[in-house]
């Protein structure tokens, strides 16, 4: 039976250096339960080390965790990539690691990058600088995501930095996107008026949470689905089989 699922497809944990230490997988799941967020995607910058902890923390709850990452292309474009299976995410992680900048993080300048378990216990601090561009472009990124079996969403396209529009001014035809994301600063109506490059692409909105208040109060997207899976969300974005998106 079809029903409404509230989703936030852009959530950072304390692995992202710009995120607060309160953004642990366990704490995110607890707040999702309290505020009736059915689906969350863990999308740390250029890394996915805390996804498994979020999956474990969500066991026994009604929260579905999608496997993801927010990747930065060599054009300094941010893209959300989402996958259904852990083996797909691992394949994507291997791809990103081959194309990292090679720079080390400066925790005092950029913030620490913490890996934790499902109980919020410290495991390690990731040494690679995550707030940096990969050495590959958005066309190759979208192609690789498609080959692995995931979907690609252009992050916060209405923002003046790190968006496909701010960096390129258009959406290249060889970049396959499942949707575009707008921030809390713009409505769907204004996005369609002010960013004609969207064309017929589906639009979602998400919190892009780096602190808990943003996760709790930030925008969400509702999906009408039978099950809270990425496969069903993919159908909703394509408006297939009565699935649909409501921003």
Q: How far apart are CA 177 and CA 189, in angstroms?
A: 20
Q: What is the pLDDT of residues 30-52, one digit of tens each?
A: 999 999 999 999 999 999 999 99
Query: What is the residue-wise DSSP string for 179-220?
Result: EEEE-TT--HHHHHHH-GGGTT--EEE---BSSHHHHHHS--
Beta bridge partners of 245: 223
Q: How far apart are CA 77 and CA 64, in angstroms?
A: 27
SS3 at position 139? helix
Domains of the chain: 3-246 (3.20.20.140)
> Are 222 and 233 in contact, with CB atoms under 8 Å apart?
no
**pLDDT less than 50: residues of the chain:** none
Residue 247 confidence (pLDDT): 83
Give the H/E segment covering residue 153.
Answer: strand 151-154
Q: Map 66-126 to HEC letters.
A: EEEEEEECCCCCEEEEEECCHHHHHHHHHHHHHCCCCCECCHHHHCCCEEECCCCCEEEEC
Query: From residue 13, how far is each of 40, 71, 87, 162, 246 by CA, in Å?
Result: 12, 14, 21, 19, 26
Residue 240 confidence (pLDDT): 97
Give the contacts of 37 (CB within 8 A, at least 6 positions apart).
Answer: 6, 7, 8, 31, 63, 220
Residue 183 confidence (pLDDT): 97
Q: What is the pLDDT of residues 6-27, one digit of tens each?
A: 999 999 999 999 999 999 999 9
Q: Which residue has the tokens 């919190």?
A: 207
Q: How far apart are CA 13 and CA 65, in angstroms?
A: 13
Residue 85 confidence (pLDDT): 98
Query: From residue 87, how far is each of 20, 150, 199 by CA, in Å?
Result: 28, 11, 33
């Amino acid at each position: 039976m079809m029903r409404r699922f509230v989703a936030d497809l852009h959530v950072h944990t304390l692995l992202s250096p710009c995120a607060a230490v309160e953004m642990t997988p366990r704490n995110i799941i607890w707040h999702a339960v309290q505020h009736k967020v059915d689906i969350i995607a863990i999308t740390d910058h250029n890394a996915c080390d805390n996804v498994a902890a979020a999956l474990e923390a969500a066991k026994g709850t009604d929260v579905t965790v999608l496997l993801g990452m927010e990747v930065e292309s060599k054009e300094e474009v941010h893209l959300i990539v989402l996958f259904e299976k852990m083996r797909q995410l691992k394949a994507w992680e291997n791809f990103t690691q081959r194309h990292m900048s090679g720079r080390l993080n400066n925790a005092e300048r950029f913030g620490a990058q913490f890996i934790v378990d499902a109980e919020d216990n410290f495991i390690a601090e990731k040494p690679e600088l995550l707030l940096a561009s990969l050495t590959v472009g958005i066309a190759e990124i979208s192609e690789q995501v498609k080959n692995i079996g995931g979907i690609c969403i252009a992050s916060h396209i209405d923002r003046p930095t790190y968006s496909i529009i701010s960096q390129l001014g258009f959406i290249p035809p060889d970049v396959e996107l499942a949707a575009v994301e707008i921030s809390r600063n713009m409505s769907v109506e204004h996005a369609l008026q002010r960013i004609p490059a969207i064309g017929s692409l589906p639009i979602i909105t998400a919190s892009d949470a780096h602190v808990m208040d943003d996760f709790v109060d930030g925008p969400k997207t509702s999906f009408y689905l039978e099950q809270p899976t990425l496969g069903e969300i993919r159908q909703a974005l394509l408006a297939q089989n009565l699935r649909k998106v409501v921003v």
